[in-house]
């Protein structure tokens, strides 16, 4: 009996530890929770005249803030989903991150423009205030201007479905 316990107790402890480490390893999607969730969204880059006129329309409306760049391949990958969301009436603010405006313009002309407003963050300093560490990153901002969720990397259908109710209030679906 004591011999049995002497073997099984350490074995059990080891199994527990291995289990704990295994569970810990499952968080491989780098979805490190943003400390900004639940807080008011940081300032966006200043808008040029065109964007200035469009921004008030977003006041009090839930929207997405998508950091993207023409040099970013995953941004192209998520582009169709963004187009679809824009088509459904979800306003998306596109923050063009460390990009050449001409290249960004060409990219949008070639692939289509899902953004209600486009803002420029040439040096990437605004992105740091948002806690961005690589494009694409997408934030869900509610009607009160509070960040509700963040996606690091490509936006997919699951993301779209998850936030549909918040982003499209009053639309049943």
The C-alpha atoms of residue 89 and residue 87 are separated, in whole angstroms, by: 5
E-strand ranges in 22-136 read 63-68, 92-97, 117-121
Comparing CB distances to other proteins, the nearer of 107 and 130 is: 130
The C-alpha atoms of residue 147 and residue 84 are separated, in whole angstroms, by: 22
Query: What are the Cα distances from residue 126, in Å, to 37, 54, 129, 164?
Result: 17, 20, 5, 26
Comparing CB distances to other proteins, the nearer of 30 and 157 is: 30
Kind of pairing between the strands at 92-97 and 137-141: unpaired
Shortest distance in whole angstroms from residue 130 CB to other proteins = 7
Comparing CB distances to other proteins, the nearer of 71 and 105 is: 71
Counted residue by residue, the chain has a size of: 173
**Among the listed residues 77, 100, 129, 162, the single contact to other proteins using CB under 8 A:** 129
In eight-state DSSP terms, residue 134 is S
Shortest distance in whole angstroms from residue 138 CB to other proteins = 16
**Among the listed residues 74, 124, 145, 153, the single contact to other proteins using CB under 8 A:** 124
Comparing CB distances to other proteins, the nearer of 69 and 85 is: 69
The answer to whether 81 contacts other proteins (rule: CB under 8 A) is no
Site residues, other proteins (CB under 8 A):
2-3, 30, 32-36, 98, 124-125, 128-131, 133-134
């Amino acid at each position: 009996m004591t011999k049995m316990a002497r073997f099984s107790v350490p074995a059990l402890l080891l199994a527990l530890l291995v289990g704990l480490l295994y569970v810990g390893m499952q968080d491989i999607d780098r979805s490190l929770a943003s400390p900004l969730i639940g807080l008011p969204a940081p300032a966006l880059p200043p808008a040029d005249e065109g964007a200035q006129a469009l921004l008030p329309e977003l006041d009090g409306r839930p929207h997405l803030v998508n950091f993207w760049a023409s040099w970013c391949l995953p941004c192209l990958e998520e582009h169709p989903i963004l187009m679809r969301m824009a088509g459904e009436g979800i306003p998306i603010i596109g923050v063009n991150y460390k990009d050449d405006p001409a290249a960004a313009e060409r990219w949008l002309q070639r692939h289509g423009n899902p953004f209600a407003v486009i803002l420029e963050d040439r040096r990437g300093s605004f992105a740091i205030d948002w806690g961005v560490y690589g494009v694409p990153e997408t934030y869900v901002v509610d009607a009160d201007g509070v960040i509700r969720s963040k996606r690091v990397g490509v936006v997919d259908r699951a993301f779209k479905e998850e936030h549909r109710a918040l982003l499209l209030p009053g639309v049943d679906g």
